[in-house]
Chains A and B, each alone.
Chain A
């Protein structure tokens, strides 16, 4: 399985993402610059965190118009796994691949620390190796992670079981219903504010994020590799 880490001007978690996939997960991975016009070579798309285009106007608002995003939309439509972390999540929201929007953290502060997440849905290609209701520890680092959507959208997210991760215990940013990560209806586009790529080795303070990447590979192998 071959992953693309999309790099925008201002991405700053691209190296962490690359490291997680290559060294910890042991899969093939390549950096892909934002002006690339073809993602056919890749089986999975990773949108890393950072401050694409300086967060000008709104987080993710400019990045969504880059060339590569047209290809990300195509990949999503083709059913390939697309993971957006932090700024990557914000870009997926702006691009309309996921519903809702981000507001500034309730505290107005940039928050960078470990948080506990609860796995609300383990029937997705991103969470299948977690237990349901498993509590995991993953770091967050954001100033705008206060997820919002209207009531109708929220009802739909719940009805379709699209809320994959919630903050466990205390909610760091004020997000609606403690939402930390959501998936699209089709089940192949996940956006989350916490950084699983920063939790892939005990040396980094924890390895709870690794299972997320392992889930993606597991699903891909089951679908593509004979005798998996």
Chain B
């Protein structure tokens, strides 16, 4: 069994309206050091072992559904987990 963490954020080149507002809120709380905020999604997947290579599957899932690659970037972390 695998525990997979998927992170999806707007691409660098795409303005993130939520991130922009959160950044200015942080500034108003006196954290001027914050130069950028990007807001994204975090997903946890539990995947059973099968014949299909897990990384290949996760990449495919990201491309086909979990991220919209027109505007979003994704990255993932795959951990092998011991079944309970």
Is there contact, CB below 8 Å, between B17 and A105? yes
Give the interface centre of A99, A100, A101, A108 by most chain B CB atoms within 10 Å: A101
**Within 8 Å CB of B65, what residues of A?**
57, 61, 65
- A residues less than 8 Å from B1 (CB atoms): none
Of B28-36, B45-53, B66-74, B76-84, which stretch is located at the interface? B66-74
- Taking a contact as CB atoms closer than 8 A, the residue among A99, A103, A105, A106 that contacts B10 in the complex is A103
How many of chain B's residues have a CB under 8 angstroms from any CB in A? 14
Is the pair B70, A149 in contact by a Cβ cutoff of 8 Å? Answer: yes
Give the interface size bracket for A toward B.
20 to 34
| Chain B residues with CB below 8 A from A100, complex form | 70
CB closest chain-A residue, reference B16? A103
| Complex: A99 Cα to B69 Cα, angstroms | 12
Q: Which residue of B lies closest to A146 (CB)?
A: B17
Contact with A along B19-63 (1 / 0, CB 8 A): 001000000000000000000010000000000000000000000
Contacts of A106 in B (CB 8 A): 17
Give Cα A120–Cα B18 distance, bound, in whole angstroms.
Answer: 31
Q: Which residues of B contact A65 (CB under 8 A)?
A: 65
Known: A61-B65, A103-B10, A103-B15. A108 touches B21 (CB 8 A): yes
In the bound complex, CA of A94 to CA of B70 (Å): 10
Query: Could you say which residues of chain B place their CB within 8 Å of the CB of A94?
Result: 68
CB distance from A218 to the nearest CB of B (A): 33
A58 within 8 A of B: yes
User: CB-CB < 8 A to B17: which residues of A?
Assistant: 103-108, 146, 174
Give the docked Cα–Cα distance between A93 and B68 (Å): 10
A-B contact sample (14 more), CB < 8 A, given A58-B68, A101-B70, A104-B17: A57-B66, A61-B65, A61-B68, A93-B70, A99-B70, A103-B10, A103-B14, A103-B71, A105-B17, A108-B17, A148-B71, A149-B70, A150-B13, A150-B70
A-B contact pairs, 5 of them (CB 8 A): A57-B66, A100-B70, A101-B68, A101-B70, A103-B16
